[in-house]
Amino acid sequence: MDLINVQKYNYPTSTRAIHKGSRHYTIADVLQGQPLPSVTSILSATQDPDKAAGLQRWRDRVGHAKAAEITKTSAARGTAMHLYLEKYCLGEGYMDLTDLGIEAKKMAEKIVDRGIDNRIDEVYGNEATLYYPGLYAGSCDLIARLDGDLAIIDFKQSNKPKQKEWIRDYELQMAGYAMAHDNVYGTNIDKCVNMVCTPDLYYQEFTISGDELREAKYEWLRRVDLFYENRG
């Protein structure tokens, strides 16, 4: 299915660099070049200590070398899957004939089949830089009209199926993007969707909107406040 890419919003270009120990974005021609912390850096720096402890217990259980290998493979698979989806949404082809690339392509095709084809008719931003002036910035996988509604869409690979209570940071990430888009472009985005696929092609979709999205925005702002308080 051919998607229509519409230049409705003027998304800026940006550069990324490590600043004060975390990833920051510098937005071209905006804020006099002030580096803004990334959404994911803020979430990482303010994560629940129990979550960090759980990750450490997992590393201890499987072994640090094995944990590092799993993490590296998952990241590479996710990058390849995202690239395939980005090219698809731009109407361009992409080929990676490595074993990992072939696996990632199948995962991306599952997301296309379940989440994109016959549901998205207009694409406004693809890997678009979004920013909230003076606070944060990030790169959003897809901004599009999904099932008739303007939506923030985020693609995730996962080694196993997710439960909703495990993906709160995913929801906060999208809430941050929605707030940034609304602030800069005067929109009122009320749909944020995570499209998740595992290597065995199990597809899941998690949507937040309405009161649930508003609560996520409040929680996201608390995390932003905590980030700046801790940084001093």
Tell me if 191 sits within 8 A of 209, measured CB to CB.
yes
pLDDT at 6 over 80: yes
pTM recorded for the entire structure: 0.93
pLDDT at 61 over 90: no
Q: Which pLDDT tens digit goes with each residue over 100-128?
A: 999 999 999 999 999 999 999 999 999 99
Task: State the average pLDDT over residues 144-170.
Answer: 96
- Which amino acid, residue 40? T
Cβ neighbours for 69, distance < 8 A, ≥ 6 positions apart: none
Listed ranges 4-13, 25-34, 126-135; the one with the highest mean pLDDT:
126-135
Task: State the average pLDDT over residues 188-192.
Answer: 98
pLDDT at 133 over 70: yes
Which structural domains are found in the chain, ordered by start?
7-76+121-227 (3.90.320)
More confident call, 78 vs 2: 78
Length of the chain, please? 232
Distance CA 132, CA 121 (A): 27
pLDDT at 22 over 90: no
Distance CA 67, CA 166 (A): 19
First to last CA, the chain: 49
Task: State the average pLDDT over residues 12-32.
Answer: 86
- Residue 5's DSSP bridge partners are 123
Count Cβ atoms below 10 Å from residue 202 Cβ, excluding itself: 14
pLDDT at 21 over 90: no
| Average predicted confidence (pLDDT) for the chain | 92
